[in-house]
Amino acid sequence: MNKNRFASIAVAALTAVAALASAAPAQAADFGVTADKTQHLTVAGDIVTVTAANVPAGQGIYLRLCAGTLADVAKARPADCVGMDKTVWASTAASSIAQHASDATQPLKVSVVAQFTSGGKTIDCTMVACGIHVRRDHLGGSTDFSLDRFIPVTFGAPVPAAHPSVVAGKVQIHVADANGQTVTFVVAGKKYVRTVNSDSYTFTVAAAKGAKSVKVAAVLASRSIGAATLKF
């Protein structure tokens, strides 16, 4: 079977399944998938290496990027997904491997991109939840949901954020994902300028004696990345 013939069969199978996938399926207890990375993927395009454990003998799977959440795919298979050109077909069946399926016992490289078109509409994974959907292939997958799995992924650089709190009577502001940047901490109107030296940085300062509450904020490049009114 040539590649175009496989694509035609696979597209037809995937289209037919959409109407059938309306309930959460039973899953094969010993089958599982893991990914080498899932967060802050490159927007323009990235490769996620997925390892599938215990794919049943003689069966195959599809892996592809789709819009949705774990809660969504627990109800039905996702409808908005990348095309067959970015879908990975892998199998443990020798006949499928002979037809260009990848060996499902080996790590599988899945191409992902933050923006793709599905059914005539543009899906932007920086704006909506997305993930790698795994399911049984066209050779039995229309009615067998036991291999359905979903790996949530995110795209884009991490956004710096600050989380103020009170710890042992002191003001503490935890800053995430701002390594190497200058942050101004404002506590009760007083400013403290610090260069953040890690992706998990904590600024601590004593509160004014007798204070019942205090307004605090963290500012990065003239933009607040976290603010709160703390009570003691």
Q: Is the pLDDT of residue 115 over 80?
A: yes
Is the overall model pTM greater than 0.85, yes or no? no
SS3 content of the chain, % helix, strand, coil (to 5): 10, 45, 45
How far is 70 from 119, CA to CA, in rounded Å? 21
35 Cβ contact partners less than 8 Å away, ≥ 6 residues apart: 48, 49, 50, 51, 132, 151, 153
Q: Work out the pLDDT band at 26, boundaries 50, 70, 90.
A: low
Residue 177 has what pLDDT? 92
Contact 52, 61 (CB under 8 A): yes
94 and 193 fall within a common domain: no
Across all residues in the chain, what is the average pLDDT? Answer: 89
101 and 215 fall within a common domain: no
Looking at the structure of the chain, the number of domains it has is 2
Residue 208 has what pLDDT? 83
Q: Is the pLDDT of residue 19 over 60?
A: no
pLDDT by residue (tens digit) across 117-164?
A: 999 999 999 999 999 999 999 998 889 999 999 999 999 988 899 999
* Higher-pLDDT residue of 198, 8: 198
Containing structural domain, residue 125:
3-153
Residue 159 has what pLDDT? 87
Per DSSP, the three-state class of 74 is helix
The two structure tokens encoding residue 61 = 């799977």
77 and 166 fall within a common domain: no
- Identify which of 4, 227, 18, 9 has the alpha carbon closest to the alpha carbon of residue 118: 18
Residue 13 has what pLDDT? 43
Q: Work out the pLDDT band at 29, boundaries 50, 70, 90.
A: low
Residue 170 has what pLDDT? 93
Domain end: 85, 120, 153, which one? 153
CATH number at residue 128: 2.60.40.230
